[in-house]
Structure 1
Amino acid sequence: MKPFLIPLAICSGLVTGMAHAASTAELTVSGLITPMACTPVLSAGGLVDFGKISQKDLNQATATRLPLKTLTLTVSCNAPGRYALRMRDNRDGTAHVNSEIYYGLGLDTAGNKLGVYSVKFDPKQTVADTFPVTYGTESTTGGVAWRTSNTNPIDIGSRSLLGFTDVVGSTAGPSAIQNLTSTLTLEAVINAKQNLDLSVDTLMDGSATLEVVYL
């Protein structure tokens, strides 16, 4: 038996060393705490009320677009700084259209998806500090790359960043801004009536959180 003891001991040592090397990983936690603080405020407390809608006014086989609604957003910061906006759906999973720019309106009593809404920012209706002209830009890469800035309206998304700059044609992202005011347009769409149970009063229950992301 002795001739086997040394080879076994060497083999065991090699396995132990390899296991030790493969079973460790280094974790690094980083970040930057900034004194910058911004407060977003929506007009009317952020409430958009379409009132009572008769099910007779809804399309049977196609979606029904409701009248456009507008809100005013103000973002006030304690100092100029670079930031962007994004919106989180508090009714995630209730939108009947799969896209990051559409947010759910809740479910009917049978669990069917009631509809969607979107929120559009228009740089032409946006005032930022003393910028002579405000341009919009967005990033789908978490701020790594930015779309060329222009005055085209932008639908805010749940996975994209939306920002503003005073430089046209720029891919550098948002400029430093302290005070911003923008008119938002909300468009709501109700699912086709044939897909819903509207035999009882059905509450449109959309809810989202607008977030300031510091860059």
Structure 2
Amino acid sequence: MKTILIPLSVVAWLGAGFSVHAASTIDLTVKGLITPMACTPTFVGGGLVDFGKISRNDLNLTKGTRLPLHYLTLTVNCNGAARYALRMRDNREGTGHVNSEIFYGLGLDHSGNKLGVYSLTFDPAQTVADSVPVIYGTESTTGGVAWRTSNSNPIDIGSRSYLGFTDQVGSTLGPSAIQNLSATVKLEATINARQNLVLDEETPLDGSATLEVVYL
């Protein structure tokens, strides 16, 4: 029995020793690419949307109240033709009463209730890029690995997806290289149902988001 058990224990020990040795080191590789490209996004007029004073009595009791549409002009100017995409980061994350990447929060009332949401919609038909006669929109939900077939449909900009533009219809290759872009963007805001809010004092809408240019 000992002549059988001793070799087995040695084999087990050697196997364990080999496993530990094989896992004792690991390599880390850090990569990146510094590009000379630089693009500056700008909302004409400073990117401020002010709905003014809204009476609580004008808000729907049991469902959301849509506020009047607002339109903004966005320009993206680069120091050369560049492939890039756009995405938004919500600076009031967690304050929207609808959970979706295309909706951004409007802050909280003094009791911590969620005031509402807003969205930004890009329309390729209202977008001009360089001297290209027609622009199409495309979108990636995989960080730019794969792109939706480009078309002329309006697109809501999201916080977890990329939005880009191309001069090629029906393409899955992603955005074209663009130097100067101008787009009319629709902003739509909805206030939460009045029954879900405490509005016994003046309550400011406090939406804030950051538009980011992602270089591809």
TM band (smaller chain): over 0.9
- Is it true that 1:145 corresponds to 2:146 in the alignment? yes
The structural deviation recorded for 1:139 is: 0.7
- Cα deviation, 1:150-187, whole Å, max 9, x if unaligned, reads 11110000001000011111111100000000000000
- Which structure 2 segments of 5+ residues have no match? none
Letter in 1 for 2:67: L
The structural deviation recorded for 1:12 is: 4.7
Supply the RMSD in Å over aligned alpha carbons: 1.8
Letter in 2 for 1:149: S
Equivalent positions of 1:114-125 (< 5 A) are 114-125=115-126
- Aligned counterpart, 1:112: 113
Looking at structure 2, the residues matched to 129 and 111 of structure 1 have their Cα atoms a distance apart, in angstroms, of 46
Looking at structure 2, the residues matched to 88 and 146 of structure 1 have their Cα atoms a distance apart, in angstroms, of 20
- Which structure 1 segments of 5+ residues have no match? none
- Aligned counterpart, 2:101: 100
- Aligned counterpart, 2:211: 210
- Aligned counterpart, 2:186: 185
Give me the TM-score of the superposition, normalised by structure 1.
0.94
Letter in 2 for 1:157: G
Equivalent residues, number: 214
The structural deviation recorded for 1:102 is: 0.3
The structural deviation recorded for 1:20 is: 2.5
Letter in 1 for 2:133: P
- 3-state SS, counterpart of residue 45 of structure 2: helix
The structural deviation recorded for 1:10 is: 7.0
Give the % identical residues.
70
Looking at structure 2, the residues matched to 11 and 99 of structure 1 have their Cα atoms a distance apart, in angstroms, of 53
The structural deviation recorded for 1:18 is: 1.4
Looking at structure 2, the residues matched to 137 and 164 of structure 1 have their Cα atoms a distance apart, in angstroms, of 6
- Aligned counterpart, 2:59: 58
Looking at structure 2, the residues matched to 72 and 88 of structure 1 have their Cα atoms a distance apart, in angstroms, of 19
Letter in 1 for 2:196: N
Letter in 1 for 2:28: L
The structural deviation recorded for 1:13 is: 5.0
- Cα deviation, 1:60-98, whole Å, max 9, x if unaligned, reads 000000000011100000000100000000011111111
- Aligned counterpart, 1:174: 175
The structural deviation recorded for 1:6 is: 9.3
Looking at structure 2, the residues matched to 162 and 74 of structure 1 have their Cα atoms a distance apart, in angstroms, of 14
- Is it true that 1:38 corresponds to 2:39 in the alignment? yes
Give me the TM-score of the superposition, normalised by structure 2.
0.93
Equivalent positions of 1:12-23 (< 5 A) are 12-23=13-24
- Is it true that 1:128 corresponds to 2:129 in the alignment? yes
- Aligned counterpart, 1:198: 199
Looking at structure 2, the residues matched to 51 and 133 of structure 1 have their Cα atoms a distance apart, in angstroms, of 36
